[in-house]
Amino acid sequence: MPKWSLNSDFSLIHNPSSVWSYGSKPAGYHVTGMFSLFTHLDPEPKCCSEIVAWFGSDNVWYTHGLGVYYNTKPTNILMGSVMFPANGIATHPSDDGRFSVIRFTAPKAGNYVIDATFTHIDTSASHTGVYIIYNNLITLWETGLAGPEDSKSFKTTDKGISVKADEPIDFIVGVGLDNVYYFDMTFTRVDIHLLDLLENQPGFPIITGSIGFVLGIIISAILFHIYYRYRENRRNANVGYQVI
């Protein structure tokens, strides 16, 4: 059962990296907007170099806010009013309304089970919009976070959702109802696994069909045997009558 975890798979070198890529979508177009890759990774320059972030070509630390942030340490780190979880990833929208996007691209066709959580980690947090978008067309989930430590989760059913090879699923953070980007730092946890082939198949009907086939053969054999014995008994009875 192939599995992917956003936190443990985070790349400090490559974007995209394996199934994950980090980037943005334009303001007002979180569903159908063009996905733009972030281009460079920078450490925090003032106090907390253990915190790094992927930014676009027009952004650096403390400029537009738009980025995907990562705590490289196995312990929580407090940076100003933001508490970065150990080895955790956070996303933040831009001051001009652009959305921060983490994209998962399906490596092959199949049913994918998704488990995601978005949590405010700024003590001054107000409103933030979070979204999960499939293939730039379908909104799988849309909700808002309100206030410090607010947290919302999304999970598919155990059967997952059907995804074709190379189709994307976007995990998005944007400004919320207040349309203000300040304090929108949002911890983003995503775990995905691809169901095995046997898990994708309706196994019970297959078993039932096999049993039915075998039972049919057994019943047919029994009926044939009964008929054969009946014929033999009739023949013996007729022979006995003629002898008498």
Poorest-pLDDT segment among 61-65, 147-151, 168-172, 206-210: 206-210
Residues 55, 90 within the same domain: yes
Residues composing the chain: 244
Residues 140, 224 within the same domain: no
Question: pLDDT at position 27, please?
Answer: 97
Question: pLDDT at position 21, please?
Answer: 98
- The predicted model scores a pTM of 0.81
Pairing of the two strands 40-43 and 51-55 = antiparallel
**% of the chain at pLDDT higher than 70:** 80
Residues 70, 159 within the same domain: yes
**% of the chain at pLDDT higher than 90:** 80
Q: Is the pLDDT of residue 242 over 60?
A: no
Residues 134, 148 within the same domain: yes
Q: Is the pLDDT of residue 41 over 60?
A: yes
Average pLDDT of span 48-62 = 97
Q: Which domain holds residue 230?
A: 202-243
Residues 17, 28 within the same domain: yes
Our count of domains for the chain comes to 2
Question: pLDDT at position 76, please?
Answer: 98
Residues 75, 152 within the same domain: yes
196: pLDDT confidence band, cut at 50, 70 and 90?
A: confident
Q: Is the pLDDT of residue 239 over 90?
A: no
Average pLDDT of span 95-117 = 97
